[in-house]
Amino acid sequence: MPLYLRKKTVEKKPNLQEKIVGRTTSVVHLTHNDLDAAGSDAICRMAFGPEILTLFSSVNRFGWFVGQVGGCNGKGDRLIISDLGYQKGIEDQIRKAHAAGWKIEWYDHHKWTEEEKERVLPFVVSLTVDTSVCATGVVCASFAKGNTAAAEVARVVCDYDLWKHEDPRSAVLGIVTSKREYLELIRDKLSKGIIIDDEVSRIFAGIEREKNACMKKSIRHAKVFRGQYVIAVMPAYGYPSETAAEARKELGCDMELLVFDTGKFSLRSVAPVSHLIARQFNGGGHPNASGGSFAYGWKEKWMLKLFGRVACAKKFVEAAETL
């Protein structure tokens, strides 16, 4: 007698546009993918409820995400954008999202020129930019005035994002959210007013060991260039903010360039010029912290991966010295 096995059916997960179309909320939140984004989303959830649809985006995929949202009928719903700054040409995607019926509100803390604001303003309900605080602080001031739990979340997140380092809890959260798989976990805790608990502390302890090894490896390969700035150029193996801070102490530099084997880089500087340099390499960010990318081919990628050698270092130094 033949034996028939029932074929196991695998449930297909909805793609992004299917999630947007099938949303059960009138609020979609498009934000970055770091601690500041988690804090911003936590406060949005305090204000609008946990059922809002959140889209975490890297800087490089921002335009793609806006395009995906703009490809769906907005039906007059709110699209809240936070912790993602202006990018060249992004107004085209914003215009399409506006035309699709989305009511767009943008809350940011990156530097904008007046010209950039003017390009976006015709298509948004509001544009709020405040460079004195982190994005979580901007969102808190807009949606959660008088909420003490939200204010505490914003204070701790800004402590890390603005490099104040006055509250040791902020460093713990920053390191834990550097692992993408813990972003929603921290977001959910912050939305309940929980900053640190035993679970977060255990996760941090495990990551801390890995982080220390990565920092030592980066700094061991560092090359220092001395000119107008003392620039430390090194490969990145993770934890760019923490590695930059440690390199600054050990090497006496005032600018740190950490490059990943993909060609993407993270830049930190004492002088408020980081974003100006990054813009020359397909990036941007804050005056003291930014990111960009070099056009690495297979050779440059493998030289960094195998030997810790950073290609385009001299080109970067020249750009920094000629500001």
pLDDT tens-digit series, residues 167-204: 999 999 999 999 999 999 999 999 999 999 999 999 99
Give Cβ neighbours of residue 196 (< 8 Å, ≥ 6 apart): 169, 172, 173
Residues 165, 58: one domain?
A: yes
> Is 262 inside any structural domain?
yes
What CA–CA distance (Å, rounded) separates 233 from 227? 13
Closest to 306 in 3D by CA, of 261, 272, 259? 261
Check the CA dihedral 135-140-143-149 and report its sign: positive
Residues 165, 310: one domain?
A: no
What CA–CA distance (Å, rounded) separates 184 from 56? 10
Strand partners, 79: 28, 104
> Is 101 inside any structural domain?
yes
CATH number at residue 132: 3.40.50
Domain limit, last residue, from 165, 196, 227: 196
> Is 9 inside any structural domain?
no
* Separation in Å, CA 287 to CA 20, 209, 227, 283, 302: 34, 30, 19, 12, 31
Residues 151, 223: one domain?
A: no
> Is 201 inside any structural domain?
no
Residues 227, 153: one domain?
A: no
pLDDT tens-digit series, residues 29-81: 999 999 999 999 999 999 999 999 999 999 889 999 999 999 999 999 999 99
> Is 69 inside any structural domain?
yes
Q: Which amino acid is at 26?
A: S
**Site of tokens 């959210």:** 177
Give residue 225's domain range.
Answer: 215-321
Residues 150, 287: one domain?
A: no
Distance of CA 138 to the CA centre of its chain: 15
- The reported pLDDT for the residue numbered 4 is 54
What CA–CA distance (Å, rounded) separates 81 from 98? 13
116: which 2 tokens?
């950039």
**Strands 284-285 and 255-259, how do they pair?**
unpaired
Residues 258, 178: one domain?
A: no
pLDDT tens-digit series, residues 292-307: 999 999 999 999 999 9
pLDDT tens-digit series, residues 104-163: 999 999 999 999 999 999 999 999 999 999 999 999 999 999 999 999 999 999 999 998
Confidence of residue 3 (pLDDT cuts 50, 70, 90): low
Q: What is the DSSP string of 167-235?
A: SHHHHHHHHHTTSGGGHHHHHHHHHTT----HHHHHHHHHHHHHHHHHHHHHHHT-EEEESSSEEEEEE
**Strands 103-108 and 78-82, how do they pair?**
parallel
- The reported pLDDT for the residue numbered 68 is 97
Residues 222, 148: one domain?
A: no
> Is 202 inside any structural domain?
no
> Is 206 inside any structural domain?
no
* Separation in Å, CA 307 to CA 87, 217, 242, 265: 34, 11, 22, 17
- The reported pLDDT for the residue numbered 54 is 98
240: which 2 tokens?
């760019």
> Is 22 inside any structural domain?
yes
pLDDT tens-digit series, residues 241-291: 899 999 999 999 999 999 999 999 999 999 999 999 999 998 888 899 999
What CA–CA distance (Å, rounded) separates 60 from 283? 8
Task: Decide: residue 202, CB within 10 A, 0-12 exposed, 13-18 middle, 19+ buried.
Answer: exposed
Whether residue 168 contacts residue 148, with contact meaning beta carbons closer than 8 Å, is answered with: no
Total domains present in the chain: 2
CB-hemisphere CA count at 13 Å for 295?
4
Residues 174, 308: one domain?
A: no
Longest Cα separation, the chain:
84
Residues 149, 245: one domain?
A: no
CATH number at residue 293: 3.10.310.30
